[in-house]
Structure 1
Amino acid sequence: MLSLSSLTALVQVVLIDITLAGDNAIVVGLAVRKLETKQRRIAVFIGVAAAALIRLGLALIATQLLGIIGLRFAGGLLLLWVCWKMYRELQTSEDHDGDSNPTSGGLRSAITRIIIADLSMSLDNVLAVAGAAGEHIWVLVSGLAISILLMAFAATMIARLLERFRWIAWIGLLVVFGVAVELVYKGGGEVLGQFS
């Protein structure tokens, strides 16, 4: 039912989505920046579809996820691995500046990175959205749909920017690295808290 509390929850969810979708969009943009236009669209579509399924699955078990100690830590480690792969790709593209052809495994590699990064980064987003939505299931579903649309739109724009201005890719990598370090730090604190 439409009520003041559900509308308030929806506004909160939209604000959370706008705030948190940027990190995911940067990862997607970095992952697809070297692909041809057609492959870029495919990678963004598959990556965003996978993100939708991941977030829906996480949303359904959001409250149970809060009790799993070490989940954020593991997600941070996965994201650090994604950062390392992106760093190596950026280094290689700087070394071969004139070579604009993507590698043969470019599409599969981009999709894999998008899925792993989204799995690592979605937990905070889903938990924040689930917390704001409360008992309003339609608000939760709407919020997840909005975050996926924002990520797809922003990722396409970011990929175009990265294609024109390569230095932005390094800034994007730093942003993603910062998120990974934050996840490792918070998750590590949770794990260490269990032993004290």
Structure 2
Amino acid sequence: MEMTDSLFWVAVFQIIAIDIVLGADNAVVIALACRRLPETQRNRGIFWGMVGAIGMRIMLVFFALHLLALPFLKIIGALLLLWIGVKLLLPEPASDGPIVRDSPTLFGAIRTIIIADTVMSLDNVIGIAGAARDSLALVTFGLVFSVPIIVWGSKVIMKWMERFPVIVIIGAGLLGWIAGGMLTTDTVTQDWVETQAAYLHWLVPACGALLVVATGKWLTARIHKKLRAPVDLVNRD
């Protein structure tokens, strides 16, 4: 399609609309991954995370039809997303405690953004590929156009997280919900769920959200207990 063709611009607007709708999820992941970085590194984390995520999305769109037909792909992706959700709930390292854990790194935040965005995009690349009508240039144009909106959204969400910590829990639960949805739409589970247990389409995502939050809270409690143990021994002496 040429740029003078009206279908070109229709496809562009469709891709931008899809990316903006998906942008809410992406903004949450970026905010969760970068919230612990020093202020001076947050913009770099957001920028390079988005660059890597866009590159992976373009590759996913290119191979979309073949990838989504692979059995167990979404199940593996869902398990990975559950792990990411739990990891993002763990507490910040304590710099003044008896045990000092490794500080969050810029590379770690970028890696988390790319992995989570790639997993979360598995379901949506079909829509983008369809709107692009086999044009990789259209996909790239639409993705690049939507980046500023996602970046702005992630910065706003990070500020909200600083004021309202409960948003961190909600964001991690959202990743669990998305993971649950992926478990019921894999090629090996979708037909059975739709014909035998349609209620699993909402039950499994709800359980995924609860699993992430509950596991994250449990591990956080264990970490805090471990950090307090040496202090308690010192106090007894």
Structure 1-normalised TM-score? 0.82
State the secondary structure of the residue aligned to 2:123.
helix
Residue 173 (structure 1) aligns with: 172
**Mapped contact 1:76–1:183 kept (Cα < 8 A):** yes
Residue 39 (structure 1) aligns with: 41
**Mapped contact 1:26–1:158 kept (Cα < 8 A):** yes
CA distance in 2, matches of 1:127, 1:148: 19
Aligned residue pairs total: 187
> How much is the aligned-residue C-alpha RMSD, in angstroms?
2.6
Matched, 1:126 2:128: no
Q: 2:65 aligns with which of 63, 66, 77?
A: 63
Residue 104 (structure 1) aligns with: 103
- CA change 1:168–1:193 in 2 (3 A) is closer
Q: Which has the higher contact order (CA 8 A, sep 6+)?
A: 1
Residue 191 (structure 1) aligns with: 188
Q: Deviations over 1:40-76 (max 9, x none)?
A: 1121122111112111221222232232222222211
- CA change 1:43–1:137 in 2 (3 A) is closer
Residue 115 (structure 1) aligns with: 114
Q: Max radius of gyration: which structure?
A: 2
Q: Deviations over 1:96-115 (max 9, x none)?
A: 7x99xx95244333222212
Unmatched 5+ residue regions in structure 1?
A: none
Structure 2-normalised TM-score? 0.69
CA distance in 1, matches of 2:137, 2:106: 34
Segments ≥4 residues shifted beyond 4 Å: none
CA distance in 2, matches of 1:85, 1:29: 14
CA distance in 2, matches of 1:72, 1:110: 23
State the secondary structure of the residue aligned to 1:35.
coil
Over the matched positions of the two proteins, sequence identity in percent amounts to: 34
